[in-house]
Structure 1
Amino acid sequence: MSSGTDPGFAEEWRQLKERALARRAAMTPSDASETSGTSGTSSASGTSGTAVASPVSADVESPLEQARARLVAFRSRPVLVPLDDGDGLLTVPFGGLDWICAFTDEDALARFAHARDEAGREWTYRRVTGALLLDEVVPVAGFPCGVALDSAGPDPVMYPPLRGIVPDRVALDGGDIRPTGPLNI
């Protein structure tokens, strides 16, 4: 394929965009006002009015702020990282990139095991913080990778190896992607 895009990823991305557009189209005007960030204000004359949120504010800032808040919460949270058969961190390929699997709790790990038809096996895991994964493990992995949190759950999150998420030196959008040392967790 001349574009270099993984056809499976392109199809998944197309489906995600279609679902997002369908959700947006299904929103009622009251849904839109609840999520747009509009609020009442008080003017100097004492009358109240409604601030109108700009389209940029409603469509970009709110999701960006939500993403930042989730990243901050992930960095401070202990997560479970299952080990593979060779006692390395379990990674899965998706969209042309490898992802380190991480889970918020044993129930989330069990959903993942069930989704893989591996619910009967024993899962060995390490408990580490999200910050350790992003700041220390990803840089020494030896290959570009991100972190997939609760990938089989109702609210999965992907932390790609990009600036602002992982150290700049290993970010796909600005780094050199070379390991910086041994992996000891």
Structure 2
Amino acid sequence: MGLPDEIADFREGRGNPGRLVGEFRRATLLVPVTRDAAAAGDGAGAGDAAGGLMSAGSGGIRWFYAFTGEEALFRFARARGEDGREWPYLAVLGARLVDAVVPQVDGPAGVAVNVADQDGSMLFPPVAGIVPDACAVDIAGGAVA
């Protein structure tokens, strides 16, 4: 079973949290890269450095966008009204996002998967069991106590 199936099961109340997180960590996700400031003319998305991983801030958390396939990434581009341009991306393991990228962020960070899919999206927040303990907001010593 792949990550989209695990997300569907979880959203329908049939999922197992441990299995969902395990599948997320094993999944190869497409993570959009912000456009080069010179090529874009206006720089990167809000809060992003040009050429970095695309993310957005909400509720004091930096959310990295990640997609389970090109179709999901295209739906995101279309929802933003930007489906007419090229969307460069990196293929990254979910584990690499939370174990290597999240600790580099100044403040709490998580991963938002397939955010344009109303029934197929899932947030992986900065909590113990998903991100490294030093970055978890729900334990002492984490990004936010």
TM range (shorter): 0.7 to 0.9
Seq. identity, %:
43
How many correspondences in the alignment?
A: 117
Greater mean deviation of Cα atoms: 103-112 or 78-87: 78-87
Partner of 2:124: 159
- The 5 Å alignment of 1:16-95 reads 63=13, 66-85=16-35, 86-95=50-59
1:168 aligns with 2:133: yes
Q: Distance in 1 between matches of 2:56 and 2:27?
A: 22
TM-score using structure 1 length? 0.59
Q: Residues 165 and 63 of structure 1: is their aligned pair in 2 closer, same or farther, counting only changes over 3 Å?
A: farther
RMSD between superposed Cα atoms in Å: 2.0
Q: Which protein, 1 or 2, shows the higher relative CO under an 8 Å CA cutoff with sep ≥ 6?
A: 2
In structure 1, list runs of 5 or more residues that go unmatched. Answer: 1-61, 179-185
- Given candidates 125, 142, 145, the residue that maps to 2:109 is 145
Q: Residues 63 and 169 of structure 1: is their aligned pair in 2 closer, same or farther, counting only changes over 3 Å?
A: farther
Q: Once the two structures are superposed, what CA deviation does each residue of 1:126-178 show, in whole Å capped at 9, x if it has no partner?
A: 10100000111101122211100001113101000001111101111123439
In structure 2, list runs of 5 or more residues that go unmatched. Answer: 1-11, 36-49
* CA displacement at 1:94 relative to structure 2: 2.8
Q: Distance in 2 between matches of 1:143 and 1:89?
A: 16
